[in-house]
Amino acid sequence: MAGAPLGTQEMRVLGYVAEHAPITVGEVAERFSASHGLARTTILTVIERLRRKGYLRRRKVGGIYRYSPTIPTPDLLRSLVSDFAQRVLGGSPQPFFAYLLQEAELSDAEVAQLRKLVRDLETKRKGGRS
């Protein structure tokens, strides 16, 4: 995938396309006009920019282009999170931890997932020191 940085709007659109692919510009525009007040032409511009950057591909089906990510969704989401962490958080997880402690309303299941991630991280760190 191209390493071109993404703006906030591009990340939102890319995340939505990844979750709902294959999807048309009209379907994306319907969602973003309601939630963000963006016009179809704006969404088309963002999607085409993402395609030129190498994040999306399109395929014509029944005369309409359908867009999908160029890499599997889990890899794409990992890449987006990494980009966000580097650009916005300066590579430090501390602001995210502070957010989780002070602002986030986590379910019991999400807290359990965090515990598992910490255990996995501890196991990985111990394995790397052998």
pLDDT per residue as tens, the chain (130 positions): 456 778 889 989 999 999 999 999 999 999 999 899 999 999 999 999 999 999 999 999 999 999 999 998 888 888 878 888 888 899 898 998 899 889 889 999 999 999 999 999 999 999 866 4
Check whether residue 69 and residue 119 sit in a common domain.
Answer: no
Check whether residue 60 and residue 122 sit in a common domain.
Answer: no
Check whether residue 79 and residue 127 sit in a common domain.
Answer: no
Distance between CA atoms of residues 76 and 64, nearest Å = 24
**Where in the sequence is the domain holding 98, given as residue range(s)?**
93-130
Question: What pTM value is reported for the model?
Answer: 0.69
Check whether residue 61 and residue 26 sit in a common domain.
Answer: yes
Closest CA to 67 of 30, 9, 28: 28
Closest CA to 16 of 65, 80, 64, 85: 80
pLDDT of residue 1: 47
Check whether residue 4 and residue 61 sit in a common domain.
Answer: yes
pLDDT of residue 79: 82
